[in-house]
A and B are shown apart, each in its own frame.
Chain A
Amino acid sequence: MARTIQSLERAAAMLRLLAGGERRLGLSDISSSLGLAKGTAHGILRTLQQEGFVEQDAASGRYQLGAELLRLGNSYLDVHELRARALVWTDDLARSSGESVYLGVLHQQGVLIVHHVFRPDDSRQVLEVGAMQPLHSTALGKVLSAYDPVAHSEVVEADRETFTPRTVTGLEDFEGLLDLTRARGWAADVEETWDGVASVAAPIHDRRRMPVGAVGVTGAVERVCKDGELRPEIIAAVRDCARAVSRDLGAGRF
């Protein structure tokens, strides 16, 4: 019989364990269930986490299956389905905020814009569906990096370019921003990608609570911010929109 690779067998056993019974397990549960030393189990979990097959809950430290596993299967959410579900809510967000709305998903090492609603004034605007935005500096990208472990591993490895004097590129500072994003439930980009432009975004989850995309508004910094702060009503409207789309995708209230 051909030699097998022990660590892969152990990784497979972990995934099976996380897939059955209780959804989230702590390190000690996993190691004792599989008869492994904690250090060994942790090494495998960390690798699986980097690949997006496992994710760790920030608050409890427990592990659960990651989004990448779903992408491997055929149950991933079609981006055009996402756009169809988001249509009415994003229209309404554009009207209530007075700014343009973008819906983005992770694609390769960036944010792919899958839906764009014009700013509701009569100015000439060009549809930006299909455009790419950077992960590390935009509000959409930060939301995806904070919630989607696959996006996170991409952004950590990527060369984080400096676009403006305000772009955060250092890993530690950037991780701090992601922690803040997870704690608040939204991310911002105030002149970190483009001079004079600010945006706010929040995550969209599907019925498995998987982060499937981010939605946000983008506009001139003097309109999106007031007295140097993001306008709270814009943040509230963005989060409401993200919740509404998530609810339409079957995610429970949260």
Chain B
Amino acid sequence: MSETPTTSHGTHGHGPFIAAIDQGTTSSRCIVFDKDGRIVSVDQKEHEQIFPKPGWVEHNATEIWTNVQQVVDGAVEKAGITAADVKAIGITNQRETTVLWDKNTGEPVHNAIVWQDTRTDALCKELGRNVGQDRFRRETGLPLASYFAGPKIRWLLDNVEGLRERAERGEILFGTMDSWVIWNLTGGVNGGHHVTDVTNASRTMLMNLHDLAWDEKILTSMDIPAAVLPEIKSSAEVYGTAASGVLTGVPVASALGDQQAALFGQTCFQQGEAKSTYGTGTFMLMNTGHEPVNSYNGLLTTVGYRIGDETPVYALEGSIAVTGSLVQWMRDQMGLINSAAEIETLASTVDDNGGAYFVPAFSGLFAPYWRSDARGVIAGLTRYVTKAHIARAVLEATAWQTREITDAMTKDSGVELTALKVDGGMTSNNLLMQTISDFLDAPVVRPMVAETTCLGAAYAAGLAVGFWSSTDELRANWRRAAEWTPRMDAATRDREYKSWLKAVERTMGWIEDEE
């Protein structure tokens, strides 16, 4: 197990505590939080990434469950506490990753199919019939794309021998990773609870956003038996109690998809509040209040969270495929920098981009354009341009793409963004954060706890058991670690944005006949 940052000096408060499990794409983690939302201990373990074919990505769900048990034990032990000190367990997870298992043996019938897996591309086209990828958008808020869980279930039913019959006999259970962890944690074959939360269910393409129930028409269209589906619960309520391990008897009291958990951890509880997580890619979610907002600008509509019986809160989601990975590309493929952090050093040696614009449409343009025929472009090159200008253009690319997503959110929701809350690894890049603030013409704020995903799961679990009284109390826990305010004049911003949009135009139509 890797050593991860923890408070080593024991100045954190005394119990009680909340334990949050983050079942992520590359690893499982458990973080113990105190009442102030400070990290007491962390444990983490990576799991194997299985690539059976190009474009296929799988995880061994049994390995994941074993790791989850180990990191829970590890974090509790490092914190030096017992089950009696832990008031609740919260869960957050990689979204859309799909596992089917035998309810009598607890054995997965196949490796879990990971969200990045593209094996259902053709199936999604087929499911679109004559309508296309928006066939289920009105009900689910999602386009037919290979990420989402519904088509993955269908693929498993079609491709694992005898599975459909077993599923129809009611012997098989489906779950995203939240369901898999909760079912096992609350007893597994000995009375485990088969549940999911509204945020995870909203990523299956099987739930109707308006009544938050499984949509029978879609189930029929996708040919998925309702018997495999978990019960849809809120994001913050007691689903059951832990039946094994060091936390036996502790209530399991929240589940949220990772991006929704980050929205919750950033305490974006009011309509118009948004968070953006800057990692390899970037995910931005905006709280749109109690009504699902249809997107006409290429965003996803999803459930933000639901606390117990309260009215659900919806969100608009926009993602940028290439952000941190562009910096990695500069390091690994171009060799212009030795470490990701050095991009800032190189970019800081010049005052501007020298006229260069970098549009990293490596596998097409995503939100808000959705052009798969686009490919990456560096535009505006002259003899004047140096590698430092290109480094600057790299950082600006992330900032402009953030601007494009926020513009789309404003158009769809009619709500102007007042401030952007940021988290993720790239927030240590000061120049990037300043540039985002300049390009958005809005303040960018970084909270004091970087682990907003786990914190969100802990918050939801703590609310469910009364550890925290209200979202107002959680908001009072939120601490600003840094804030960047716009320094760019409007004329410069508008001129630069125009140039960026011209560069974006030049990426389109590069791939001429797409297969």
Contacts and interface: CB of A to CB of B under 8 A. Distances in A.
Contacts of A129: 430
Given A80-B428, A91-B450, A94-B448, A240 B8 contact: yes
A78 B341 contact: yes
A117 B482 CA distance: 6
B111 interface: no
Interface in A220-252: 233, 236-237, 240, 243-244, 248
A88 B340 CA distance: 17
B502 interface: no
Given A91-B450, A96-B9, A80 B484 contact: no
A95 B341 contact: no
B284 interface: no
B394 interface: no
A213 B12 CA distance: 26
A58 interface: no
4 smallest CB-CB distances across A and B, nearest first, come from A240-B9, A80-B341, A81-B341, A120-B479
Contacts, number: 83
Nearest to B451: A88
Contacts of A125: 480, 483
Contact of B449 (A84, A91, A127, A244): A91
A127 B483 contact: yes
A95 B479 contact: yes
Interface string B44-62: 0000000000000000000
A244 B8 CA distance: 8
Interface string A72-94: 00000011110110011101101
A233 B482 contact: no
Q: Taking chain B's interface residues, is the majority helix, strand, or loop, or is none over half, making it mixed?
A: loop
22 contacts: A78-B339, A80-B341, A80-B429, A81-B342, A83-B341, A83-B430, A84-B340, A87-B428, A89-B5, A91-B481, A92-B5, A92-B39, A96-B11, A117-B481, A117-B482, A118-B479, A122-B480, A129-B430, A236-B9, A240-B9, A244-B5, A248-B5
Contacts of B9: 96, 236-237, 240
Contacts of B7: 92, 96
Contact of B448 (A80, A91, A116): A91
Interface in A48-67: none
B29 interface: no
Contacts of B341: 78, 80-81, 83-84
A94 B342 contact: no
A89 B449 CA distance: 10
B22 interface: no
Contacts of B339: 78, 81
B38 interface: yes
Contacts of B427: 87
Most buried by B among A91, A94, A129, A243: A91
Contacts of B483: 118, 125, 127
A243 B449 CA distance: 20
A50 to B, nearest CB: 28
A79 to B, nearest CB: 7
A204 B266 CA distance: 30
A127 B8 CA distance: 27
Interface in A107-166: 116-118, 120, 122, 125, 127, 129
Q: Taking chain A's interface residues, is the majority helix, strand, or loop, or is none over half, making it mixed?
A: helix
Nearest to B431: A80
Interface of A: 78-81, 83-84, 87-89, 91-92, 94-96, 116-118, 120, 122, 125, 127, 129, 233, 236-237, 240, 243-244, 248
Interface of B: 5, 7-9, 11-12, 36, 38-39, 338-345, 425, 427-430, 448-450, 479-484
Contacts of A92: 5, 7, 38-39
A89 to B, nearest CB: 7
A41 B38 CA distance: 55
B448 A120 contact: yes
A120 B38 CA distance: 12
A189 to B, nearest CB: 22
A150 B9 CA distance: 32
A96 B10 CA distance: 10
Given A94-B448, A127-B430, A240-B8, 13 more contacts: A80-B428, A80-B430, A81-B341, A83-B428, A87-B427, A88-B450, A94-B481, A96-B11, A118-B481, A120-B448, A127-B483, A244-B5, A244-B8
A120 B445 CA distance: 13
A129 B484 CA distance: 11
Nearest to A89: B5
Nearest to B347: A80
A88 B482 CA distance: 13
Contacts of B428: 80, 83-84, 87
Nearest to B338: A78
Nearest to A233: B11
Contacts of B430: 80, 83, 127, 129
A242 B493 CA distance: 40
A168 B451 CA distance: 42
Contacts of B425: 84
A240 B10 CA distance: 10
A233 B484 CA distance: 31
A95 B8 contact: no
Given A96-B12, A236-B9, A237-B9, A80 B481 contact: no
B321 to A, nearest CB: 23
Given A87-B428, A92-B7, A127-B484, A80 B450 contact: no
Contacts of B479: 94-95, 118, 120
Most buried by A among B36, B338, B427, B480: B480
A89 B6 CA distance: 8
A79 B349 CA distance: 13
Contacts of A96: 7, 9, 11-12, 38
